[in-house]
Amino acid sequence: MLLALGMAWILAACGREEVAASAPAPVQPADEIYVGSSILTMDPARPRAEAVAVAQGRIVAVGGRAELEASRKGPATRVVDIGGGTLLPGFIDGHSHISQALTFADWANVSIPPVGSVDSIASLLETLGRHVATRGGAAPGEWILAWGYDPDGLAENRHVVRADLDVAFPDNPVMLLHVSGHGVVLNSAALRLAGIDARTPTPAGGVIARLPGSEEPAGLLMESAALLAYAAIPRPTVEQQLATLDEVQRLYARNGYTTIQDGASDDQTLELLRRAAAAGALWLDVVALPVVFQPSELDARLRERFGSYAGHLKLGGIKVLTDGSPQGRTALFSAPMLVHGPGDETDWRGEPFMAPVQYDDIVARVYAAGIPLWTHANGDGAIDMVIAAHEKAGAKAADDRRDVVVHSQFVRPDQLDSYVRLGIAASFFSNHAFYWGDVHVRNLGAERASFLSPLKTAHAKGVKYSNHTDYGVTPLDPAMVLWTAVTRQSRSGAVIGPDERVPAQRALEALTIDAAWIYREEDSKGSISPGKVADFVVLDADPLAVPADRLRQLKVLATIKEGRLVAGQL
């Protein structure tokens, strides 16, 4: 009897252990549950949802509101109603320049509308004068610096020359940064400080515009020649930049970006970002691309640690340039432009930023090191260089390197096929259709201009791509990026390449899940899916439901980084 009772007790105990072992683990209550009628996940398995549960900065569940409130709501859970807004994954910056945002803090904005108010040389000089006056004047010899200079929007239909600036500012060096970031205009005082005069040879890969009938510099320097000027201008110290870094992150966050990029980091910028990361001063994820201007600089870059975050900072790859700017007429094309070059060159198709043999060397060494390469290339001639160098290095899609051609602005259809074969991704720049589409038609003709940033063809061929602002070349506004991808309207209202317009869903994917793939972060970002980081943006309307023309008016209501509200309000 006792034996039977004992055996029964043992069997019952074993049964209880089996039940306990097979019982599901208790569900972790969420810290927040975001609810609303419009949640776009960018996850094809569940494109829309009513609620998203977040715990410890990560997404733990996505589904219906009643379902998640029943299973994930605890005593301390905060239910956040997005109201009439639309929740999406946080936007991922395909390409921009944090370092420029830091540098421009005390510069004058001489942009043409709609970014600024300059429409003539006279109004540019007035803007510079107001800028100096608001800062209490400029002492003799003090630099006056400005960004956003765009001669294509000036009534005079010509470049500013040094004499224009000399009359207004005879005692100060003045520098206007070309809107492309690839050139400058200097007055006489600035040219002297940069050591540029009639005897200065034009460097390879650069342009020094000369006064008619003379070797005297007119003021405009492009590409490698502009580097001579950059070395002469004062630059904020690391400490000064650290003081403005928080506001720069807020600028990105107000525009819905949760992962941002510095697209050409020099040594000072890398020092700044590392110090900020070590001090816990970065609260958005920052992807930096150490820049190489010539092969001799590469060894130091190859010793860097790439591919993982520390203190919200990651080195994402090495950046190199092969050409310049299409709106600045320094991009490299396979056929001549319809206009003269920036230095009045005829039969002009641009020129490479560096010799092809130098670029080949960089590609081979970066490829051997297993580091992603981000190459700036706008014209199809430069893209030919990129493809040839990758072929020589033995690139193939199976390697899954995720090298990127930044801008790929005038890539040809056959080159897109090479991208697929070689495993090259693109970071397109559809904002060009609005800001310089009319300029490109004038410079290249309608047929060539119509294929700028060919998002639709690239997607059809299987090319992975992001879409970017290149800030400070164009504003960070993601609504503009969406609108230009969907409509491709220019300043004049013309549609630049109607066949390359894409639906809003595709335009959103380029700002979210596909951009995450390029950064090799598709498992943690880019869609609202369980297990991913809780990076969100809330827009004031559903971009998939509004008319195409309404996309440009979309506003960011709030930005959430790892479950924490970092911009706006909810």
pTM, to two decimals: 0.92
What tens digit of pLDDT does each residue of 162-180 get?
999 999 999 999 999 999 9
d(CA 127, CA 513): 41
Instruction: State the pLDDT confidence band at 5, using cuts at 50, 70 and 90.
Output: very low
- If you average pLDDT over residues 184-206, what whole number do you get? 95
- If you average pLDDT over residues 519-542, what whole number do you get? 98
What tens digit of pLDDT does each residue of 310-337 get?
999 999 999 999 999 999 999 999 999 9
Helix (H) or strand (E) holding 3: helix 2-22
Quick check: 3 pLDDT over 60? no
What tens digit of pLDDT does each residue of 452-475 get?
999 999 999 999 999 999 999 999
- Is the torsion defined by CA of 84, 87, 90, 94 positive or negative? negative
| Amino acid 19: pLDDT | 38
Strand 144-149's sheet: what is its strand order?
108-109, 144-149, 174-178, 183-186, 217-223, 206-210
Q: Are 404 and 459 in contact (CB under 8 A)?
A: no
Which parts of 379-425 fold into alpha helices (H)? Answer: 380-392, 413-422
Question: What are the DSSP calls for 11-42, one per residue?
Answer: HHHHHHHHHHHHSPPPPPPPSEEEEEEEEE--
State which amino acid sits at residue 148.
Answer: G
| Amino acid 236: pLDDT | 87
Domains recognised in the chain with CATH numbers: 26-84+527-570 (2.30.40.10), 103-230 (3.10.310.70), 236-292+303-316 (no CATH)
Nearest-CA neighbor of 256 among 58, 27, 508? Answer: 508
Over its C-alpha atoms, the chain yields an Rg (Å, rounded) of 27
Find tokens 């297990």 and name the residue: 531
Upper half-sphere CA count for residue 115 (Cβ side, 13 Å): 24
Quick check: 339 pLDDT over 90? yes
| Amino acid 16: pLDDT | 39
